[in-house]
């Protein structure tokens, strides 16, 4: 039965209003809460399985209240997992075990009956660059080797959460079981979590995605850093799309432990989306209003750490323009009954990369993140604040800096103060430019999609796909300088189709076919490609970026409106002469270089794409996409 060996007390006993002081709340820490009566039979059954397997000491069914948060913050303070940041309101800093700082792509698996359901099977692609497959037998073995008894001595938290506004036809529910209070508190920021989701499950179809997470315990039984238990040697993240199930072991780092995000909203989400005929994508959603007061919504897919969050929160430099943010990482998009593609942000918070965020690069984020935020692996300052590379001047008088490893730091230390993948986890509702419709259960109508990457050479500032199929090819051919968000480091240009490379839940070839099929389902948006990062021969950026990117959005807006401000080129539609609005720009822009299409570069690019398709996608590549490559090759040959 559910409560075997576990103690389950009544719901809400500890839910206290915010004004209660810490000591009062700490006194009741040994008490846990939850009400089994609020669980549907299917949830109960799932929890029984988790309890049997993980053998926790206690169960805590999360209600999502402030009182619960106070209690868990208190617990984490006691355990040394977080420290307060008194310079700000309700902000905390977690320092992870240094071996647990990023997503573990090489140990992230999709389990399907046949390998080709999960990843393209080709002669050359071993291992595949488009995900890892695991058999059912090996999945069971991986679980059996890690999970039995893994929560002994710990509390098992049950987090009911909704991806998307509770009850929206575009939303989905998950139940995350975890032994980490850090995960609970982060999930409460990143998703709509708590009792209202259980009520919705009771009232609705009862469907949910099963998400089991444990920080684990190394075989020695000893945690290198007791304040951040984990088992980095045996970390594994498993997905079983046929059962809507996720199992994650060994890591507390967000990308591996906040299972609503990459695991559910993208990997399992993309498989559900394929089955149900919609799209789950690694995209920001933003609203843009032009000086005439007309508003459209765009989505944009960029590989990790390419300034996606900055784009989602842009302060346009072009007079009269306004950008509002619906989401900074993930878009779920579905055609409505009128054939309009509508998007929701399934998340409730931002889990953004801190380094590089400043008043200059992202003033909106800076106005968002200094309340109710959990920072992870940033540096701290002796006046109770945080610091990271690119934030501004660290040498404030009389203030010392402690780095993410807990050591005293100065600019002369010769090392980074914050980890390159350090994060803020902050409520989206605090964003001063959050879109008024960001919680609209119907979603917002999407008029354009932008793909992009960090391309120092050859790729112009902006171009438009000739049609949907060409746009799908552009997404499939995306490449970018590698990200610090994963294990890959350094400046290699990597293929990252649709910015989904680490997040596909099923065979990329089938994913492409699914994208192609969207055209038959409704009115598809225009597709664009942008590159803010092109450099001159002497290594200088050719485009100022940030707020000036609104000039590119202005051109995109006008194209969406049907203005004939383009000319055809070998790779797609480029802004026609003088159509990019550069009025008032202080800097002199070398448009010639910014939009030049070097024939050698594009011939090489086409060869790289061909090699990638051949080696990684093989026979799974849809004919339409292969044809687009031939068109590109022929057009480049004619350049
Ligand atoms: C992220 C990522 O954390 O894409 O959003 O890695
Ligand atoms: Mn992301």
User: For residue range 294-307, what is the model confidence (pLDDT) as tens digits?
Assistant: 999 999 999 876 88
25 CA from centroid of ligand 2 (Å): 36
Instruction: Kindly identify the ligand whose nearest atom is closest to the C-alpha of 376.
Output: 1
Beta strand pairing call for 526-530 and 462-464: antiparallel
Q: What sign has the CA pseudo-torsion 579, 580, 584, 589?
A: negative
What Rg do the C-alpha atoms of the chain give, in angstroms?
24
Instruction: Kindly identify the ligand whose nearest atom is closest to the C-alpha of 353.
Output: 1
Give me the phi and psi of 57, to 5 degrees please. Answer: -80, -35
Token couple for 230:
């984990």
Burial class of residue 515, CB neighbours in 10 A (0-12, 13-18, 19+): buried
605 CA from centroid of ligand 1 (Å): 26
For CATH 3.90.228.20, list the domain ranges present in the chain: 280-348+434-597
Atom of ligand 1 nearest to the CA of 255: 3
What distances in angstroms separate CA 470 from CA 465, 502, 504, 572, 573, one per listed residue?
A: 6, 23, 21, 8, 11
d(CA 339, CA 376): 42
Residues 6+ apart with CB under 8 A from 627: none
Q: Which of 145, 110, 135, 12 is nearest to 67 (CA)?
A: 12
Residue whose CA lies nearest to ligand 1 atom number 3? 255
pLDDT at 11: 30
Token couple for 211:
């998400």
Helices (H), 369-501: 468-476
262 CA from centroid of ligand 2 (Å): 7
Atom of ligand 1 nearest to the CA of 423: 3
Instruction: Kindly identify the ligand whose nearest atom is closest to the C-alpha of 255.
Output: 1
Topology at the third CATH level for domain 280-348+434-597? Phosphoenolpyruvate Carboxykinase; domain 3 (3.90.228)
Which of the four CATH numbers 3.40.50.1820, 2.170.8.10, 2.60.120.330, 2.40.50.250 does domain 351-430 have? 2.170.8.10
C-beta separation of 256 from 180 below 8 A: no
Token couple for 299:
């989505």
Atom of ligand 1 nearest to the CA of 282: 4
429 CA from centroid of ligand 1 (Å): 20
Place of tokens 């309340």: 371
pLDDT at 490: 54
Among 257, 266, 304, 347, which is best to mutate for testing ligand 1, by the most ligand atoms less than 8 A from CB?
304
Residue whose CA lies nearest to ligand 1 atom number 4? 304
Residues 6+ apart with CB under 8 A from 437: 287, 326, 444
Residue whose CA lies nearest to ligand 1 atom number 1? 304
For CATH 2.170.8.10, list the domain ranges present in the chain: 351-430
Residues 6+ apart with CB under 8 A from 392: 358, 359
pLDDT at 333: 98
What distances in angstroms separate CA 263 from CA 245, 306, 377, 425, one per listed residue?
A: 9, 21, 22, 17
d(CA 270, CA 281): 7
d(CA 422, CA 352): 8
Q: Which of 386, 376, 385, 382 is nearest to 420 (CA)?
A: 376
Give me the phi and psi of 516, to 5 degrees please. Answer: -60, -35
Q: How many helices (H) and strands (E) does the chain have?
A: 17, 31
Place of tokens 């990200």: 483
Among 264, 284, 485, 502, which is best to mutate for testing ligand 1, by the most ligand atoms less than 8 A from CB?
485
d(CA 113, CA 136): 7
Q: Quick one: angle between helices 468-476 and 508-521, nearest 10?
A: 160
Residue whose CA lies nearest to ligand 1 atom number 2? 304
pLDDT at 491: 75
d(CA 534, CA 539): 9
pLDDT at 487: 53
494 alpha carbon, distance to own chain's centre: 18
pLDDT at 482: 74
Among left, alpha and beta (phi > 0; psi -120 to 50; other), residue 595 is: alpha
pLDDT at 394: 58
C-beta separation of 88 from 424 below 8 A: no
Residues in contact with ligand 1 by the CB-under-6-Å rule are 103, 255, 304, 329, 351, 485
d(CA 99, CA 250): 11
Burial class of residue 248, CB neighbours in 10 A (0-12, 13-18, 19+): buried
330 CA from centroid of ligand 2 (Å): 7
Beta strand pairing call for 341-344 and 493-495: unpaired
Compute the C-alpha angle 145/148/152, nearest 5°. Answer: 135
Atom of ligand 1 nearest to the CA of 483: 6
Q: Quick one: angle between helices 181-190 and 66-79, nearest 10?
A: 140
Token couple for 139:
């999945």
Residues 6+ apart with CB under 8 A from 602: 458, 570, 571, 632, 636, 639
d(CA 515, CA 526): 13
Atom of ligand 1 nearest to the CA of 485: 6
C-beta separation of 351 from 261 below 8 A: yes
Residues (pLDDT < 50) of the chain are 1-31, 483-485, 488
What distances in angstroms separate CA 268 from CA 111, 264, 505, one per listed residue?
A: 11, 5, 6
b/e 145-176 (16+ beta carbons within 10 angstroms → b): ebbeebbeebbbbbbbbbbbbbebebbbbbbb
487 CA from centroid of ligand 2 (Å): 14
d(CA 212, CA 574): 47
333 alpha carbon, distance to own chain's centre: 16
pTM: predicted TM-score of the whole model, two decimal places: 0.93
C-beta separation of 215 from 229 below 8 A: yes
List the CATH code of the domain at 31-80+104-276: 3.40.449.10
Please tell me the total number of residues recorded for the chain in this structure: 639
C-beta separation of 183 from 158 below 8 A: no
b/e 292-321 (16+ beta carbons within 10 angstroms → b): eeebbbbbbbbbbbbbbbbbbbbebbbeeb
266 CA from centroid of ligand 2 (Å): 10
Instruction: Kindly identify the ligand whose nearest atom is closest to the C-alpha of 103.
Output: 1
List, by residue number, the catalytic residues. 306
pLDDT at 34: 72
Among 186, 254, 255, which is best to mutate for testing ligand 1, by the most ligand atoms less than 8 A from CB?
255
Atom of ligand 1 nearest to the CA of 103: 6
Among 190, 300, 329, which is best to mutate for testing ligand 1, by the most ligand atoms less than 8 A from CB?
329
In what helix (H) or strand (E) does residue 409 lie, and over which residues does it extend? Answer: strand 408-409
For CATH 3.40.449.10, list the domain ranges present in the chain: 31-80+104-276
Q: How many CB atoms lie within 10 A of CB 577?
A: 10
């Amino acid at each position: 039965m559910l409560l075997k060996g576990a103690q389950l007390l009544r719901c809400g006993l500890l839910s206290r209003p915010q004004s209660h002081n810490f000591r009062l709340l700490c006194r009741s820490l040994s008490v846990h809460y939850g009400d089994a009566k609020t669980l549907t039979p299917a949830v109960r059954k799932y929890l029984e399985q988790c309890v049997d397997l993980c053998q926790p000491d206690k169960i805590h069914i999360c209600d999502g209240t402030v009182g619960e948060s106070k209690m868990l913050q208190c617990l984490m303070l006691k355990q040394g997992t977080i420290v307060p940041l008194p310079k700000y309101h309700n902000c905390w800093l977690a320092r992870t075990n240094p071996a647990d700082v990023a997503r573990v792509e090489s140990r992230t698996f999709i389990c399907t009956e046949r390998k080709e359901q999960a990843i393209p099977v080709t002669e050359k692609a071993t291992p595949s660059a488009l995900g890892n497959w695991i058999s059912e037998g090996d999945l069971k073995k991986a679980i059996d080797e890690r999970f039995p008894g893994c929560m002994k001595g710990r509390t098992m938290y049950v987090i009911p959460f909704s991806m998307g506004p509770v009850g929206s036809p575009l939303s989905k529910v998950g139940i995350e079981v975890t032994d980490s209070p850090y995960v609970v508190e982060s999930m409460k920021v990143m998703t709509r979590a708590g009792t209202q989701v259980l009520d919705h499950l009771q009232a609705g179809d009862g469907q949910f995605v099963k998400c089991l997470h444990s920080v684990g315990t190394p075989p020695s039984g000893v945690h290198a850093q007791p304040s951040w238990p984990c088992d980095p040697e045996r970390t594994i993240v498993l997905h079983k799309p046929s059962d809507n199930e996720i199992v994650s072991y060994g890591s507390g780092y967000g990308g591996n432990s906040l299972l609503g995000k990459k695991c559910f909203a993208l990997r399992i989400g993309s498989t559900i989306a394929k089955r149900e005929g919609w799209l789950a994508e690694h995209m920001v959603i933003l609203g843009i209003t032009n000086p005439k007061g007309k508003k459209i919504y765009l989505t944009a897919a960029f590989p990790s750490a390419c300034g996606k969050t900055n784009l989602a929160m842009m302060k346009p430099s072009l007079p009269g323009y306004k950008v509002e943010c619906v989401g900074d990482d993930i878009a779920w998009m579905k055609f409505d009954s009128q054939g309009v593609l509508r998007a929701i942000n399934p998340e409730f918070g931002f889990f953004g990369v801190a380094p590089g965020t400043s008043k200059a690069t992202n003033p909106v984020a800076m106005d968002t993140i200094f309340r109710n935020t959990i920072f992870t692996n940033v540096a701290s300052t002796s006046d109770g604040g945080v610091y990271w590379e690119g934030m501004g001047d660290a040498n404030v008088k009389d203030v010392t800096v402690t780095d993410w490893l807990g050591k005293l730091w100065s600019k002369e230390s010769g090392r980074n103060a914050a980890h390159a993948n350090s994060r803020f986890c902050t409520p989206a509702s605090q964003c001063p430019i959050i879109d008024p419709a960001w919680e609209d259960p119907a979603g917002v109508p999407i008029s354009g999609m932008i793909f992009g990457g960090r391309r120092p050479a050859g790729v112009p500032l902006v171009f438009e796909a000739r049609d949907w199929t060409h746009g799908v090819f552009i997404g499939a051919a995306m490449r970018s300088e590698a990200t610090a968000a994963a294990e890959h480091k350094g400046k290699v240009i990597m293929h990252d189709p649709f910015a989904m490379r680490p997040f596909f839940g099923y065979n990329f070839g089938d994913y492409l076919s699914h994208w192609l099929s969207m055209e038959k389902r409704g009115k598809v948006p225009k597709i664009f490609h942008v590159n803010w990062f092109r450099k001159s021969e002497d290594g200088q950026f050719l485009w100022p970026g940030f707020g000036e990117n609104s000039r590119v959005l202005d051109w995109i807006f006008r194209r969406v409106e049907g203005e004939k401000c383009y000319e055809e080129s070998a790779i797609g539609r480029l802004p026609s002469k003088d159509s990019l609005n550069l009025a008032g720009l202080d800097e002199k822009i070398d448009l010639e270089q910014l939009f030049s299409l070097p024939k050698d570069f594009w011939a090489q690019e086409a060869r790289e794409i061909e090699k990638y398709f051949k080696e990684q996608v093989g026979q799974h590549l849809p004919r339409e996409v292969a044809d687009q490559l031939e068109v590109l090759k022929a057009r480049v040959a004619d350049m």
